[in-house]
Amino acid sequence: MASTSSTDGAVETGVLERHFGIRAAGTTVRTEILAGCATFLASMYIIVVNPGILADAGIPFAAGLASTVLISFLASLAMGLYAKNPILVAPGMGMNALFSYTLVVGAGMSWQTALGCVFWSGVLFTLLAAFNARQWVVDAIPDQLRYAITCGIGLFITLIGLNNAQFVVHDPATLVGIAPLDTIRVTFLAGLAITAILVLRKVPGALILGIVITTALAVPIGRVWGDAAGFWPEGMQRATMVDWNGVFAWPDFSTLLQVDIVGALSVAYWPFIFVFLFTNFFDALATFMGLSEAAGLKDDRGNPRNLRQAMTVDAVTSLLSGPFGTSPTNSYIESGAGIAQGGRTGLVAVVAALLFLPFLFLSPLLSLVPPIATAPVLVLVGLFMLAPIARIDWQDYTIGIPAFLAMLLMPFTYSITYGIAFGFMSYALLKAAAGRAHEVHGVMWILAGLSVLMLAAPHG
């Protein structure tokens, strides 16, 4: 097998080079592997969080865990090999809550029928991808609104990191507040300082090293002092339903193909299918635009690289999520951790995909890397993604206000979809109010109308 030596001593095999174009992307195999590890470590919480939420809908925790691991592996592998993008795909946060608390608990449908709604939303998503709908949408969104979406995703990632570290918490008096500086928060701050210094000094693998060092600092919290909160935030403790006394657990495939496709076609369930579709489509699109902007992963037209292939992967794996027994998949904004590590090709997603597989059998090992260890990386990724903010014309309120709403509502509503929905609506409204309706692309008017319908539909 042919190979070439990279500048940092890593060996790039001919097969990987030909498929992923590693040198052309300005990276190395070593960098891509480290980036894949960083992306997985920042996203692996989904392996226990998703089945925990699905358990509230009646899906057995062990079965939900197996479904989560399998669909995350296949979806991320497809994203890497087919779309060749450094983006991890797994069951989306938010949509799993919609699945459990709105469809099953709220509307009273069975989890099998709810999986049917997931399936049909995936079918519609796949049709949109096949008819190139995403290109129409990308062409309709003005550049400065794209910059705002990138910045908003960065702020959202930062909030996730701060929340994972239990640093920013709910306060009944002030809505949000800072937690007391106990051992957990001090460990997070120490990890953040160390990771920032490593990045500043341009140490190779700085983000991975930051995670490793912060994990080592956190060991006394969870293992010596016995403070389980140092390892899992509140709400993740149901992961103990797995045998945590050992390191091995057999996978449970009991929910595979347990999907009610016919029952989900009831007219009463159409609004739920629409919400799944709208959320999935625009979350995926916004994630691609944001991460592509931050990493410079664009084609000759300035659009996200391999957009059609990437959206096809998102659509098809969302369709498969129902039969696999889980809520819809989506591209993960935590992929920014790998991109910040220097990842630029689909090899990042392939590495992350392969790291999922062992946890079909070794799920108890997830406790070894606590959320406070990956939190510093997510905070810094948010910083990296704020770079385009200087390219927004804040003096033109017809773009400044929509950009402002899109940026802030993503973290404040904990939803990418709400941020872009209000961004679309306010952009069309303000352009029309300023007598500049002719500047609004026809597709943007449709998107603004769909945003209104989405906000009026039932939500969790």
For 123-145, what is each residue's pLDDT tens digit? Answer: 988 888 887 777 777 778 888 88
Q: What are phi and psi of 181, to 5 degrees?
A: -80, 75
| Higher local confidence (pLDDT), 12 or 167 | 167
What is residue 160's predicted lDDT score, i.e. its pLDDT? 80
Task: Tell me whether residue 428 is in a domain.
Answer: no
pLDDT band for position 304 (cuts 50, 70, 90): confident
Task: Tell me whether residue 50 is in a domain.
Answer: yes
pLDDT band for position 310 (cuts 50, 70, 90): confident
Alpha-carbon Rg of the chain, whole angstroms?
Answer: 21
Residue with tokens 């949000």: 176
- Mean pLDDT in the chain? 80
What is residue 235's predicted lDDT score, i.e. its pLDDT? 38
| Axis crossing angle, helix 270-295 with helix 442-456, rounded to the nearest 10 | 130
Q: Quote the CA–CA distance of 96 and 53 in Å, as a whole number.
A: 7
Task: Tell me whether residue 315 is in a domain.
Answer: yes
Q: List the structure tokens of 90.
A: 């797994």
Task: Tell me whether residue 413 is in a domain.
Answer: no
Residue 26's CB: how many other CB atoms inside 10 A? 11
Instruction: Identify the domain containing residue 311 by its residue range.
Output: 3-142+178-384
| Max CA pair span of the chain | 67
Task: Tell me whether residue 406 is in a domain.
Answer: no
- Give the rounded percent of residues in the chain with a pLDDT score beyond 90: 17
Q: How far apart, in Å, do the first and last CA atoms of the chain sit?
A: 53
For 278-292, what is each residue's pLDDT tens digit? Answer: 777 777 777 777 777
Task: Tell me whether residue 166 is in a domain.
Answer: no
Triad 32, 34, 35: Cα angle to 5°? 60
pLDDT of 301 higher than 80: no
Q: Quote the CA–CA distance of 380 and 398 in Å, as a whole number.
A: 30
What is the tally of structural domains in the chain?
Answer: 1
pLDDT of 350 higher than 90: yes
| Higher local confidence (pLDDT), 25 or 348 | 348
Task: Tell me whether residue 97 is in a domain.
Answer: yes
pLDDT of 452 higher than 90: no
Mean pLDDT of 171-178: 82
What is residue 127's predicted lDDT score, i.e. its pLDDT? 86
For 320-346, what is each residue's pLDDT tens digit? Answer: 998 998 988 988 878 888 888 888 888
Most confident option among 94-108, 125-139, 416-430: 416-430
For 230-259, what is each residue's pLDDT tens digit? Answer: 444 343 344 344 444 455 667 778 888 888
Cβ-contact 40, 348 below 8 angstroms: no
Q: Which of 103-112, 172-181, 289-298 is predicted with the least confidence, judged by mean pLDDT?
A: 289-298
What is residue 192's predicted lDDT score, i.e. its pLDDT? 93
pLDDT of 108 higher than 90: no
Q: Quote the CA–CA distance of 365 and 427 in Å, as a whole number.
A: 47
For 362-380, what is each residue's pLDDT tens digit? Answer: 766 665 667 788 788 878 8
Task: Tell me whether residue 59 is in a domain.
Answer: yes
